[in-house]
Structure 1
Amino acid sequence: MAKLLNVVTGPVMPYLDIVKDKINSLCAGLAPWQVVVYSCGGTLVFITVKNLLLSNEEQTLKKRTLNSIFRYVKMIPAVKRKVAEEKNKMLSDMEASFHKSVEGYQKALPVNGLKMEEVEELLLQYKNLAQVDWENGQVSGTVYSGEAELTELMAKTYGMFAWSNPLHPDVFPDVRKMEAEVVRMCCTMFNGDENSCGTMTSGGTESILLACLTYRNIARDNGVNFPEMIVPVTVHAAFDKAAYYFRMKITHISVDKVTGKVDIKAMRKAINKNTCMLVGSAPGFPHGIIDDIEEISALGKKYNIPVHVDSCLGGFLVPFMEKAGFPIPAVDFRLPGVTSISADTHKYGFAPKGSSVILYRNPTFRQQQFFVQPEWPGGIYATSTTGGSRAGAIIAACWATMMHIGLDGYVESTRKIVKTARYITKGLRDIDGLIVYGEPLMSVVGMGSDRFNIFRLADILTSRGYNLNALQYPDSLHLCCTLVHTKEGVADKFLSDVRNAVEEILADPQDHEIGGMGAIYGMAQSIPDKKMVGELAGCYLEAVYSTNKE
């Protein structure tokens, strides 16, 4: 063995001696403690640089470098204490804002169960906590119908199917049939053929998560260890959540500053061997812009990459636009590259909250989202979505809603909503000082300004009872029009209130303190460490569950 070792190492020994002599000369005159410190420090630097350069995380080298710097800075005791103080203060402020309208909290089960009438009385008290009146059209999105007749139908349906669970289709064949029919009706709406398929989900986020999971699984089957999705920067944050959950890389592509559509050339350049899916929005949440889905579809077809169309927001407007007199470019299964579509039945489908669909071109894709555990002692466990047990009553209420409204009803609601949105768009463009972003073809209208802080407008409108969506990059607001906004006088009142508020701002152009979401976004954009922004936002989520009021 010694002879063999000598044969192997003999030729390199002279070089090892040279290295040894070089190291000894560098350490000459150093105290032992210095040698230890320099060695440990050098090792730490080497490992940090190696991790930054060779990491397979989804973040860019620049982001990884900044995150490392911020992580070390926050280890400094003084900085660590300051960060903790700010987080505690923000948590306390958030809790106080939630507690101000609440007298106290139920922290344990009542010793004796309450009578029905007592529970109903408490329910009314809880319902009266809501202070925003959405019925007068001063809320963006949130409630998409609210009609009393439909509410009554939902309530009856809930009662009939309250105990049903589609996890057991043999026990509840009624709900199984309804879910299958909801999916098939939606496939037909989006021009899918007999091979198109899908599942119902608990909402748009789950629909998007399942699409991303599907394409990640396909990519991994093809030998891609770290699949990458390429999406517009304006795409819904659920895609970022999917990347976070499923260990995927997400690459955000910029949008055209004028049209607001994703830059197709930049998307093409971003495609690589790890790309598992391309995404376009129809429409996007921020400003209601429809990406060029036809071009994205062509890219997917050319490079054999699945294309997902996120139509969660406008899924029950898109299929009816042409029949309602508002033609839009094709965004559905008529485009050969489109392999999946997400659409929320609980938005413009007017179904109850907690229902959406994810649709696929064929069952080969859908099978990749299924989960099966064949070796569980409890039996072979198989589910089509992330949930096991699901609320059959929601599926039944969704089915009942779609059957009640029908094709003619959806065409009419689309006509009313889009007509109102375009009326509001034109009115906002006529207001001096306001900008409407891009060409919103559907229900969402995004507005900003290059003459004043748009969040000042948000503050004024909030003080007058409005609840609009605040956006960033760029700072802006949007109104998501629903059936509520189509009521007589609602659109004109909104335009009048916005016009008066803008005139008030332009008459007093000096800087004013911005409150509400504007202040939060301003603070967030001033902090370079976005992980810290995430931690502060986590304070909001913590406060939602707080019952600390004495």
Structure 2
Amino acid sequence: MPVPSGTKEGSARPRPSGSPGGIPEYGADPAAAAAAVRLRLRDDTEPVRNLATFLTTSFEPEAQRLHNAYLNRNLADREQYPGVDELVRECVRMLGHLWGGDPNGVVGSATTGSSEAAMMAGLSLLHRWAERTGPGNRRPNLVMGAGVHACWRNFCRHWEVEPRVAPARPGCIGLDAGSVAELCDESTIGVVTVLGGTLDGRYEPVREITEELDRVAAESGIEVPVHVDAAGGGFIAPFLDPDLAWGFDLPRVVSINASGHKYGQVPPGLGWVLWRDRDHRSRRLGFPVNYLGSNHTYHEFSFSRSAAPVVLQYYNFVRYGFAGYRSMHARSRILAQDLAARLRGTGRFHFLGDGRDLPVVAVTAEPDLKLAQLAAHLGECGWSVPVYQLPPDLDELTAMRVVVRSDLRPDEVVAFAAAVDEFTRSTK
């Protein structure tokens, strides 16, 4: 391969680290450039020991090869890569069926994570509310629990929607049926329910919430649609909780989002948003494009991005099948519950989540046990865990969360719990 223009052959002389900005005057050979990058990243946590993240951190060699092979294909180039475009549609059909919908009726998109998916779903709720209610001076509102992901408040901020948040209270961070009726009115564009909160890993009671909204509709005539933020649970509940009603099997649920890069087992950067059918997706989301070779309508906010995560999502559906996903996630849930039992044995923690929904353990601690100090101790042992404040009304409490993913081994659970036990004994 020829030396790139501007490269001084044999030179690996980047600017001194103290130089203020600017790229190096001369380039480096590939090995030296790669070494410089690794040097800069050497102190980062090893991904498999990052128990803060929900994102998938380990991949089979065949999956890595497949991902690399399709990394340079643009998901937006539908005319040039019709096979990739068909994989998107096939994944939407598979997810629609998995989530209790009609695979021939659902519509949806691959997105850049669940945050884009949430923005699209929220905007569709807003547009459809405006179409139902007509012009007026009322400010629209969106009802949610205190434990929703930050992307929902971000949506409300950017589109001037009032966030109506059910306050957190002891034993309940998320939204429940008892909070819905008093928060909804004629200006409510929808209710966001969460299937697997990031703060506690718990499922909100989607079915009970929809039943309460049915009662509100019967008494007042106010019809409020439901969106399910299943960023985590969309790839857990169908496999481990088959009797749980939460998806398109509930008529009031109009849309669902999920993160393929979490329990869908693909690399970071993939989300999904599905609507029950075309009538429930606002037509205003679509915009026509014809400069790529033919006429297509795009519904996504982002445009150019790699098709590789979608390829991996379809690969995983074929690779694991329903039974494989069920076995993988059942193992993670068992490990999470084992970890919760070991932490409970210390007698120093109160549990927000114990692995019974998402394979996540989230705890608060006795006043004399400082979770920030515990997290620092675990960091010295090689584990990264987050410590965070709970939402308003419970914000005097801090919590610690451990996400159990498919690459965590039983012996690592034992080692992690032993490190926690060591610290708790030293602080008595």
TM exceeds 0.5? yes
Q: Which moved more, 1:399-408 or 1:345-354?
A: 399-408
Question: Is structure 2 residue 101 aligned with structure 1 residue 192?
Answer: yes
Distance verdict in 2 for CA 1:211–1:371, change over 3 Å: same
1:392-403 alignment runs, 5 A limit: 392-403=307-318
Count of residues paired in the alignment? 394
Question: Is structure 2 residue 89 aligned with structure 1 residue 180?
Answer: yes
Instruction: Describe the SS at the equivalent of 2:410.
Output: coil
Provide the rounded CA distance (Å) in 1 between the counterparts of 2:297 and 2:307: 17
Aligned residue type for 1:195? G
User: 1:79 is matched with which residue?
Assistant: none
Contact in 1 for aligned 2:91/2:314 (Cα 8 Å): yes
Aligned residue type for 2:331? K
User: 1:223-282: CA deviations, max 9, x gaps?
Assistant: 265221000011111100111111111111024522544242222111111001111111
User: 2:7 is matched with which residue?
Assistant: none
Contact in 2 for aligned 1:283/1:289 (Cα 8 Å): yes
1:152-167 alignment runs, 5 A limit: 152-159=62-69, 161-167=70-76
Distance verdict in 2 for CA 1:243–1:465, change over 3 Å: same
Provide the rounded CA distance (Å) in 1 between the counterparts of 2:327 and 2:113: 24
Provide the rounded CA distance (Å) in 1 between the counterparts of 2:381 and 2:184: 47
Question: Is structure 2 residue 326 aligned with structure 1 residue 411?
Answer: yes
Provide the rounded CA distance (Å) in 1 between the counterparts of 2:343 and 2:284: 43
1:425-504 alignment runs, 5 A limit: 425-437=340-352, 440-441=355-356, 442-452=358-368, 453-473=370-390, 474-485=397-408, 487-504=409-426
User: 1:340-374: CA deviations, max 9, x gaps?
Assistant: 11111111111111101011111122244623269
Provide the rounded CA distance (Å) in 1 between the counterparts of 2:384 and 2:290: 51
Richer in strand (by share): 2
TM-score by length of 2: 0.84
1:134-533 alignment runs, 5 A limit: 134-135=47-48, 137=49, 139-149=51-61, 152-159=62-69, 161-193=70-102, 194-221=104-131, 222-223=133-134, 225-301=138-214, 302=217, 303-322=222-241, 329-368=244-283, 370-372=285-287, 382-437=297-352, 440-441=355-356, 442-452=358-368, 453-473=370-390, 474-485=397-408, 487-506=409-428
Provide the rounded CA distance (Å) in 1 between the counterparts of 2:303 and 2:60: 32
1:121-136 alignment runs, 5 A limit: 121-126=35-40, 128-135=41-48
Instruction: Describe the SS at the equivalent of 2:256.
Output: strand
Aligned residue type for 1:245? H
Percent sequence identity over aligned pairs: 20
Distance verdict in 2 for CA 1:380–1:399, change over 3 Å: closer
Contact in 1 for aligned 2:353/2:363 (Cα 8 Å): no
Contact in 2 for aligned 1:287/1:440 (Cα 8 Å): no
Task: Tell me by how many angstroms 1:122 deviates.
Answer: 4.0
Aligned residue type for 2:304? S
Provide the rounded CA distance (Å) in 2 between the counterparts of 1:416 and 1:157: 25
1:30-41 alignment runs, 5 A limit: none
Task: Tell me by how many angstroms 1:390 deviates.
Answer: 2.7
Task: Tell me by how many angstroms 1:108 deviates.
Answer: 3.8
Aligned residue type for 1:209? M
Contact in 2 for aligned 1:277/1:307 (Cα 8 Å): yes
Task: Tell me by how many angstroms 1:173 deviates.
Answer: 0.4
| Structure 2 unmatched runs, 5+ | 1-15, 391-396
User: 1:427-463: CA deviations, max 9, x gaps?
Assistant: 2222222111256422111101233233332233233
Distance verdict in 2 for CA 1:421–1:371, change over 3 Å: same
TM-score by length of 1: 0.66
Provide the rounded CA distance (Å) in 1 between the counterparts of 2:207 and 2:414: 36
Distance verdict in 2 for CA 1:299–1:451, change over 3 Å: same
Instruction: Describe the SS at the equivalent of 2:375.
Output: helix
Task: Tell me by how many angstroms 1:310 deviates.
Answer: 0.9
Q: CA RMSD in A?
A: 2.8
Richer in helix (by share): 1
User: 1:284-331: CA deviations, max 9, x gaps?
Assistant: 110111111111122344342110111102321111104xxxx66322
Aligned residue type for 1:350? Q
Provide the rounded CA distance (Å) in 1 between the counterparts of 2:59 and 2:75: 28
Task: Tell me by how many angstroms 1:504 deviates.
Answer: 1.6
Distance verdict in 2 for CA 1:116–1:416, change over 3 Å: same
Provide the rounded CA distance (Å) in 1 between the counterparts of 2:243 and 2:146: 22
Larger relative contact order (CA 8 Å, sep ≥ 6): 2
Instruction: Describe the SS at the equivalent of 1:468.
Output: coil
User: 2:394 is matched with which residue?
Assistant: none
Distance verdict in 2 for CA 1:103–1:139, change over 3 Å: farther
Provide the rounded CA distance (Å) in 1 between the counterparts of 2:106 and 2:114: 19
| Structure 1 unmatched runs, 5+ | 1-101, 507-550
Instruction: Describe the SS at the equivalent of 1:447.
Output: strand
Distance verdict in 2 for CA 1:281–1:229, change over 3 Å: same
Distance verdict in 2 for CA 1:110–1:450, change over 3 Å: closer
Distance verdict in 2 for CA 1:130–1:156, change over 3 Å: farther
Aligned residue type for 1:343? A
Contact in 2 for aligned 1:243/1:249 (Cα 8 Å): yes
Task: Tell me by how many angstroms 1:219 deviates.
Answer: 1.5
